[in-house]
Structure 1
Amino acid sequence: MPVVRVTLIEGYPAETRRLLGERLTAAVRGTMAAPLEGITVAIEEVRPDNYMRGGTSRVPGAPSPDPQALVRGFLEAMEARDLDRASEYLAEGFVMTFPGGVSFSRPEELAAWAKGRYRFVRKTYEGFDTALGVEGATVFCFGTLSGEWPDGTAFSGVRFIDRFEVEAGKLTRQMVWNDLAETLHG
């Protein structure tokens, strides 16, 4: 059974070590047919005064923000229409693309476009999936939409999926797919 040993400089938070263990386990499981209970990840720590690289003592780097938490924070801010807070999650050059190929770069643009389409929309999440890469992560969230059309008629159970690209702790791209048009015209 696979055993993965990792040595970190002492000082990383428990949450960072937990995430590293889960992600290494997932990487092993996705690479070989090892049973989950057979995969061991051992995280060892070395004190900064007992570690040198290039003749220089080192300190731990900052943990990367959890990409899924960034996506959740952005979506919560958008749902609350806290557009200033939502903007804090976005990288320079951020682009969001909605059904029909409509694209925006700022939350204010989306809010203005959506005004004539619905009064409000809420998301109920069925799940989040994160794929980690060398330069960042891709986060998918999916579930159903509910809300009100401009005339006050309620809608619910509308399928959606959002795909986010995350780099350096910021959202760089969002792609949205949903069945709102089918619900309106169906």
Structure 2
Amino acid sequence: MNQNPDPVAAAKALVETYLELSMVPDPEGAAKYVSEDFKLVFTGGRQFTDPAQSAGFNAKRYAWVKKRFLRTDAALDDVTGDVHVYNTGYLYGEWKDGTTFETNRYMDKFVVRGDKIISTDVWNDSAEIILHKAGLAEAEL
């Protein structure tokens, strides 16, 4: 009998646990799931090295924010053994001005090596929504 867990299922569960902790926000709890050389790149190319930095950034932009997961997909890289995990859905919460939102699309890509997240890339509609609210959008949303 094979005692090895499914690395794809394990990576998906690890990412979802990390995201749940990040949404509390519990950056210390989330940090237990990332590698020492963790790299996180937010929309616009903002780079962070730990969950506390991204939580601090979010605290400047949102009164509060959460994710409603739609899908978590993953694929094993047979050459490196890394698992690439994609989580997508909608951000919902409240802007700093008290306006609520619920249909802010996001897509996060993770690379999981062993039992740690080594990198994350984050994309969402927040910047476009902020531009629209400021009257600076180039097209209607």
TM-score in terms of structure 2 length? 0.85
1:60-116 CA-partner distances (Å, limit 9, x unpaired)? xxx887000010010000001111110000011101100110010111111222222
Residue aligning to 1:144:
90
Task: For residue 151 of structure 1, report the CA deviation from its aligned partner.
Answer: 1.5
* Higher RCO structure (Cα 8 Å, ≥6 apart): 2
Which is greater in Rg?
1
How many residues get paired?
130
Q: Does 1:156 align with 2:102?
A: yes
Q: Is the 8 A contact 1:119 1:152 kept in 2?
A: yes
Amino acid at match of 1:147: G
3-state SS of 1:151 partner = coil
Percent identity among equivalent residues? 35
1:126 to 70, 92, 95: 70
Counterpart mapping for 1:68-147 below 5 A: 68-134=12-78, 135-147=81-93
Structure 2 unaligned regions, length at least 5: 133-141
1:21-76 CA-partner distances (Å, limit 9, x unpaired)? xxxxxxxxxxxxxxxxxxxxxxxxxxxxxxxxxxxxxxxxxx88700001001000
3-state SS of 1:119 partner = strand
Task: For residue 167 of structure 1, report the CA deviation from its aligned partner.
Answer: 0.3
Q: Is the 8 A contact 1:65 1:169 kept in 2?
A: no
3-state SS of 1:77 partner = helix
Structure 1 unaligned regions, length at least 5: 1-9, 20-62
